[in-house]
């Protein structure tokens, strides 16, 4: 029965490893649904990771760390928002600049913090009663941390807002056709700023999760491309928060396996797995015709909006 | 021409900014980045004026500094020229870093394991380096044109994959026998080391290839059919389709050149600088990423890449100076490049609009 334990353990850890990806993807879904392509996720995550770690380290309170990390990510996203909404720059380049800047700045500021263990991480908890359910109990309710549940809760909440509320319709219409939205009296710029900010908050929170829970320490460049996986996953999830849950945990299990399989395969080759999957996953999507029809970015993604008279 | 009148400040659309305006605004945005970095220096308790004075003395102030600038600019030149061509096609190749590393890997294979006779080794290493980079870049073109998968993601993921392949090789099958405990390959035989100019580190064959590439791409863009197709595809893929230009074919050729040039840069680094394959972070100090800005700053002209690569070569040397004299991490270079990119793209908006102070009409 050993392999069953293996599968259960892999799935349980997939939730832990997939949560930062889920948080980042939910944020990027909102930004892109409103028409803003923010390729700066990697930069916002690493800023969130660094500030989250230092805050948690100094205050000895991990929750303040999460808050600070999210806030820094949000602040960084507003910079991208200003450049893409008001200055109407090419969003691909602005996002890249944000990533370079974030990686560079945290590399410079973070040198003294490397190798310091974080003692103030959050506790793992088991839900009494529910953890006894066969199969699901050990996966979902045993030794999990609160952020995993917050991630799932956020996904459901953000799905509900996006598809079941009038503000959600507003967001989607701004992303599909800003001119019509504008004619209907919607403040396009404001909606886009809000969504970009949500994206930044969640990317920052995901980064803080990395340095506080996932690996409670600070290492330069510790996001290691996770921000880019987030951007790819946003596409694979068809810009849908609930699909993002499954996708994130698929990546989470790959990250866990790349760690777990090390006795048998060279670690460098295992590290490639999630990156390779990022490239190959769209091919799987394309195999299904039904999915292919639904694959379509928001109409105005990456395009700056300008009123006629300006 | 439409006007938005405010009280005194007038904003007008400008259709075609002069080369002089472009130069001035680019210069101002670079200077602004330097001012912002000054605050970071202050945060570390370093007097920014002192730091900048030291940087100027150690980079452009003596012949060794100058030679270091040229040396650092070589990979930036090769990658930058290639990226410029890709960006002209609106194909966002962010994968020069990985293409460079695969070029380095292919060249290492030639230098260490190929059965070729000695005089052919260096040319073969460059040719295979070019091929390595090109192949690495080509995968994203077919994914883009067949499946519509965004090239930013694929080229970027290929960077991480390339980096891990290099790490695998130097820890595993290619680990040197003479390098006890260290993760390097064996040192290349001296016959494949590239010659350098005098006492400097400048491996001139690679530099020559870079200059030649800049001229070639300039020629391709302005005098050939491919150059015309590149411009049409870059401006509007739809118009290109009506004109009967194949999108796939165009980006295919563009990425052969773009990836290949990055591969040459990688071959140059291992043959001319390291004389072995080592950790990917040491083979490339982020050249592939910095080259994005090198290309961007050149505003579509491959000959200007020669100048912009020198500028960023100087920033790399300045990073060394800051590390040695002021004990700042080398990562400061990425802060520089990120900030300069921010200010540059913001200045694009300025370029498209003319501001003037005039009394309200």
Gap from A279 CA to chain B (nearest CA, Å): 6
Gap from A84 CA to chain B (nearest CA, Å): 9
Close Cβ partners of B108 (under 8 Å, ≥ 6 residues apart): B174, B185, B188, B270, B276, B277
Per-residue pLDDT reduced to its tens digit, B325-334: 888 888 888 8
Q: Is residue A27 part of a domain?
A: yes
Tell me, what CATH number does A170's domain have? 1.10.3470.10
Chain B: residue nearest A227 by CA?
B153
Query: Cα–Cα distance between B32 and B22 in angstroms, integer?
Result: 15
Close Cβ partners of B303 (under 8 Å, ≥ 6 residues apart): B214, B215, B218
Q: Are B3 and B12 in contact (CB under 8 A)?
A: yes
Look at A87 and B156 and tell me if their CB atoms are within 8 Å.
Answer: no
Q: What are phi and psi of B355, to 5 degrees?
A: -105, 135
Q: Which of B158, B172, B334 sits opposite A107 (nearest CB)?
A: B334
pLDDT for residue B9:
60
First-to-last C-alpha distance (Å) of chain A: 69
Report helix, strand or coil for A215.
coil
Q: Is residue A307 part of a domain?
A: no
Q: Is residue A302 part of a domain?
A: no
Q: Which of A97, A108, A232 sits opposite B341 (nearest CB)?
A: A97
Look at A282 and B4 and tell me if their CB atoms are within 8 Å.
Answer: no
pLDDT for residue B346:
85
Interface contact A282, partner B, CB < 8 A: yes
Interface of B with A in 41-70 (CB under 8 A): none
Interface contact B332, partner A, CB < 8 A: yes
Interface contact A107, partner B, CB < 8 A: yes
Query: Cα–Cα distance between B216 and B87 in angstroms, integer?
Result: 16
Which regions in chain A score pLDDT beneath 50? none
Look at B157 and A271 and tell me if their CB atoms are within 8 Å.
Answer: no
Per-residue pLDDT reduced to its tens digit, B135-154: 999 988 888 887 777 888 89
- Give contacts of B4 with chain A, Cβ < 8 Å: 310
Dmax over Cα atoms in chain A, in whole Å? 70
pLDDT for residue B135:
95
Domain extent, residue A154, equals 2-115+134-294
Query: Cα–Cα distance between A273 and B30 in angstroms, integer?
Result: 39
Look at A232 and B157 and tell me if their CB atoms are within 8 Å.
Answer: yes
Interface of A with B in 77-96 (CB under 8 A): 79, 83, 87-90, 92-94, 96
- Give contacts of B149 with chain A, Cβ < 8 Å: 279, 282
C-alpha closest to that of B97 among B22, B153, B163, B2: B163
Chain A: residue nearest B342 by CA?
A97
Q: Is residue A218 part of a domain?
A: yes
Interface contact B331, partner A, CB < 8 A: yes
Q: Is residue A179 part of a domain?
A: yes
Q: Which domains does chain B have, with CATH numbers?
A: 1-44+332-361 (no CATH), 62-327 (1.10.3470)
**Burial class of residue A294, CB neighbours in 10 A (0-12, 13-18, 19+):** exposed
Chain A: residue nearest B349 by CA?
A87
Look at A309 and B152 and tell me if their CB atoms are within 8 Å.
Answer: no
pLDDT for residue B361:
42
First-to-last C-alpha distance (Å) of chain B: 16
**pLDDT tens for chain B, residues 1 to 361:** 445 544 556 666 666 778 888 888 888 888 998 899 899 888 888 888 988 998 898 888 888 999 999 999 999 999 999 999 999 999 999 999 999 999 999 999 999 998 888 889 999 999 999 999 999 999 888 888 877 778 888 998 999 999 999 999 999 889 887 767 778 888 898 888 999 988 888 999 999 999 999 999 999 999 999 999 999 999 888 888 898 898 889 999 999 999 999 999 999 999 999 999 999 989 999 899 999 989 988 988 999 999 999 999 999 999 989 888 888 888 888 888 889 888 888 887 777 776 665 554 4
pLDDT for residue A268:
86
Look at A89 and B40 and tell me if their CB atoms are within 8 Å.
Answer: no
Q: What pTM does this model have? A: 0.89
Q: Is residue A125 part of a domain?
A: no
Close Cβ partners of A28 (under 8 Å, ≥ 6 residues apart): A38, A41, A199, A203, A230, A231, A234
Query: Cα–Cα distance between B117 and A215 in angstroms, integer?
Result: 50
Q: Is residue A126 part of a domain?
A: no
Q: Is residue A123 part of a domain?
A: no
Query: Cα–Cα distance between B35 and B52 in angstroms, integer?
Result: 10
A46, A255, A266, A279: best mutation site toward chain B, by most B Cβ within 10 Å?
Answer: A279
Q: Is the ipTM of this complex over 0.90?
A: no
Chain A: residue nearest B140 by CA?
A279
Chain A: residue nearest B167 by CA?
A268
Q: Are B156 and A276 in contact (CB under 8 A)?
A: no
Number of domains in chain A: 1
């Amino acid at each position: 029965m050993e392999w069953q334990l293996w599968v259960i353990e892999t799935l349980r850890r997939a939730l832990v490893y997939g949560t930062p990806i889920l948080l980042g993807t939910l944020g990027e879904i909102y930004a892109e649904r409103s028409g803003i392509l923010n390729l700066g996720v990697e930069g916002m995550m690493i800023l969130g990771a660094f500030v989250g770690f230092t805050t948690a380290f100094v205050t000895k309170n991990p929750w303040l760390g999460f808050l600070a990390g999210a806030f820094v990510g949000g602040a960084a996203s507003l910079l991208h928002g200003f450049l893409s909404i008001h200055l109407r720059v090419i969003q691909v380049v602005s996002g890249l600049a944000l990533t370079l800047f974030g990686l560079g700045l945290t590399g410079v500021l973070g040198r003294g913090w490397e190798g310091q263990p974080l003692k103030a991480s959050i506790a793992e908890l088991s839900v009494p009663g529910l953890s006894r359910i066969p199969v699901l109990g050990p996966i979902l309710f045993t030794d999990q941390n609160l952020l995993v549940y917050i991630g799932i809760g956020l996904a459901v909440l953000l799905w509900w807002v996006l598809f079941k509320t009038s503000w959600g319709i507003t967001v989607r219409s701004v992303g599909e056709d800003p001119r019509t939205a504008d004619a209907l009296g919607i403040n396009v710029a404001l909606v886009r700023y809000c969504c970009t900010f949500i994206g930044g908050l969640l990317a920052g929170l995901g980064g803080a999760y990395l340095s506080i829970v996932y690996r409670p320490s600070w290492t330069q460049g510790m996001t290691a491309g996770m921000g880019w996986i987030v951007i790819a996953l946003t596409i694979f999830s068809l810009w849908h928060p609930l699909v993002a849950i499954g996708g994130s945990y698929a990546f989470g299990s790959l990250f866990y396996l790349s760690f777990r399989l090390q006795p048998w395969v060279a670690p460098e080759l295992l590290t490639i797995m999630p990156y390779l999957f990022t490239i190959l996953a769209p091919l799987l999507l394309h195999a299904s015709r039904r999915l292919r029809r639904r694959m379509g970015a928001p109409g105005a993604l990456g395009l700056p909006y300008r009123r006629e008279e300006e | 021409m439409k006007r938005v009148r405010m009280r005194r400040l007038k904003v007008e659309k400008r259709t075609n900014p002069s080369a002089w305006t472009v130069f001035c605004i680019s210069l101002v945005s670079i200077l602004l980045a330097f001012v912002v970095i000054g605050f970071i220096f202050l945060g570390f308790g370093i007097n920014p004026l002192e730091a900048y004075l030291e940087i100027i003395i150690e980079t452009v102030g003596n012949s060794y500094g100058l030679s270091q600038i040229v040396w650092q600019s070589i990979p930036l030149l090769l990658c930058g020229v290639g990226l410029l061509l890709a960006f002209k096609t609106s194909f966002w190749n962010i994968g020069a870093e990985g293409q460079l590393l695969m070029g380095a890997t292919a060249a290492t294979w030639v230098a260490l394991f190929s059965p070729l006779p000695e005089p052919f080794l260096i040319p073969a290493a460059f040719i295979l380096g070019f091929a390595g980079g090109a192949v690495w870049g080509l995968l994203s073109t077919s994914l883009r044109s067949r499946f519509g998968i965004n090239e930013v993601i694929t080229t970027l993921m290929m960077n991480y994959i390339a980096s891990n392949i290099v790490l695998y090789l130097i820890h595993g099958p290619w680990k040197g026998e003479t390098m006890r405990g260290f993760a390097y390959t064996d040192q290349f035989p001296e016959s494949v080391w590239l010659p350098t100019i005098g006492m400097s580190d400048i491996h001139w064959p690679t530099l020559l290839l870079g200059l030649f590439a800049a001229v070639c791409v300039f020629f391709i863009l302005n005098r050939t059919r491919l150059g015309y197709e590149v411009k049409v595809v870059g401006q509007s893929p739809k118009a290109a389709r009506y004109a009967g230009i194949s999108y796939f074919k165009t980006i295919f050729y563009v990425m052969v050149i773009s990836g290949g040039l990055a591969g040459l840069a990688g071959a140059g680094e291992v043959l001319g600088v390291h004389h072995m394959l080592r950790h990917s972070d040491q083979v490339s100090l982020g050249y592939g990423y910095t080259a994005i800005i090198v290309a961007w700053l050149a505003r579509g002209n491959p000959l200007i890449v020669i100048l912009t690569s020198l500028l960023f070569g100087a920033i790399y040397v300045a990073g060394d100076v800051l590390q040695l004299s002021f004990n700042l991490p080398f990562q400061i270079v990425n802060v520089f490049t990120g900030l300069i990119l921010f200010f540059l793209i913001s200045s694009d908006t300025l370029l498209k609009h003319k501001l003037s102070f005039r009394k309200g009409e």
